[in-house]
Structure 1
Amino acid sequence: MILIKNTAMKYLITIIFITIVNTTFAQQVDKEFINPFRIKPSGYTHTVVSASGRTIYISGQVPVNEAGQVVGEGDLKAQTKQVYDNLLYCLRFAGARFEDVVKMTTYVVNYKPSDIDIVREVRKGYLSKENPPASTLVGVQALAHPDYMIEIEAIAVIPDKGN
């Protein structure tokens, strides 16, 4: 009788352990951040591979506040901060964080090489330094509103809801 209880207990403990481990791993999204050795990183990851999860596509965010007013007219740094705040809000609303972002595309009006320093300064306050997302910066002639200087879109991957 004692042997049966021990065997049953071992079986029960094994099932509980497997359930806990499976639940823990199921909540993680497998993402691999790759920087091929021939391509030097410059504050972003060149390739991100996502094996599973839900994909979130965030439309280009522009420098407007909750009232729809342009923030930081003529000030790229202020506009970039507002855009990242808007991205953060969108991510949180979808149940994600900046750590879940795998790709970003940044559009800057009348881009000058010195603009990258301004964008990077703001960006580093939001993004992971260890695994930043794959990123593209595009200089454009104009955006949807004449006072917009920057627009950023993002793609994030989070665990499936069922897991």
Structure 2
Amino acid sequence: MKKINPSTLDQRFSHLITQVVVTPPASLAFISGQVAVNRNGELVGQNDYRQQALQVFKNVNLALEAAGTLPEHVVQMKIHVVNHREELVEVIFQAGFEVFGEEWPLTASTLLGVQALGMPDWLIEVDCIAAIEPASGT
């Protein structure tokens, strides 16, 4: 994949996102919105943005693994935050770095403030699209 941050666009967030991602022909995995629910269906982090963000990114990572791809192959990520405030940006992205470490998906991203998500206790939802590299020799 080719990641482009052209000098003609704002560079302030280039440590968190990439303005443009170009991918060669590849299979794509479309990861449904992941929320702070563990595999047992239990909400993690009632009224806690940090704890919910940690679980959300863990779920995204598990979904990527199930699709046979890696965080570095995410081509687009959308982060939906209930009652978004500026101070939540650091909280959410720090949680992402805790989960992904060096593998943080530096990709085309959108962070949206929303009024509500599918269930009243959900604070954060993340969906993404990732490329799946063809097996070697194909």
For normalisation by structure 2, the TM-score amounts to 0.90
Q: How far off its partner does 1:124 sit?
A: 2.0
Other structure's SS at 2:3 match: strand
SS of 1:124's equivalent in the other structure is helix
> In the alignment, is the contact (CA less than 8 A) between 1:99 and 1:128 conserved in 2?
no
Percent of aligned positions that are identical: 36
Over 3 Å counting, the alpha-carbon distance change for 1:57 and 1:86 in structure 2 is: same
1:35 aligns with 2:5: yes
Equivalent in the alignment of 1:17: none
Q: How does 1:139-150 map to 2 (within 5 A)?
A: 139-150=113-124
Q: Shift in Å at residue 160 of structure 1? A: 2.8
Stretches of structure 1 that go unaligned for 5 or more consecutive residues are 1-30
> Residue type matched to 2:66 in 1?
F
Cα gap change, 1:133 to 1:158, in 2 (>3 Å): same
Q: Aligned pair 1:155/2:132, yes or no?
A: no
CA distance in 2, matches of 1:58, 1:90: 7
> How far, CA to CA, are the matches of 1:51 and 1:84 in structure 2?
26
Counterpart Cα distance in 2 of 1:116 and 1:88: 19
Which among 35, 38, 46 is matched to residue 19 of structure 2?
Answer: 46
- Would the alpha carbon gap of residues 104 and 77 (structure 1) be closer, same or farther in structure 2, given more than 3 Å must change? same
Distance change (3 Å), C-alpha of 1:134 and 1:128: farther
Q: Which runs of structure 1 show a deviation greater than 6 angstroms over 4 or more consecutive aligned residues?
A: none
The structure in which a higher percent of residues are helix is: 1
Structure 1 residue 41 displacement after superposition: 4.6
Name which of 114, 128, 148 aligns with 2:87. 114
The offset of 1:88, in angstroms, is: 0.8
Q: Compared with structure 1, are the counterparts of its residues 66 and 143 closer, same or farther at alpha carbon in structure 2 (3 Å cutoff)?
A: same
Question: Residue 42 of structure 2 aligns with which residue?
Answer: 69
Distance 1:128 1:38, change over 3 A: farther
Could you list the per-position Cα deviations for residues 71-120 of structure 1 after superposition, in whole angstroms to 9, with x for gaps in the alignment? 10011000001001101111111111111111100000000110101011
TM-score by length of 1: 0.77
SS for the counterpart of 1:107 is: strand
| Unaligned ranges ≥5, structure 2 | none
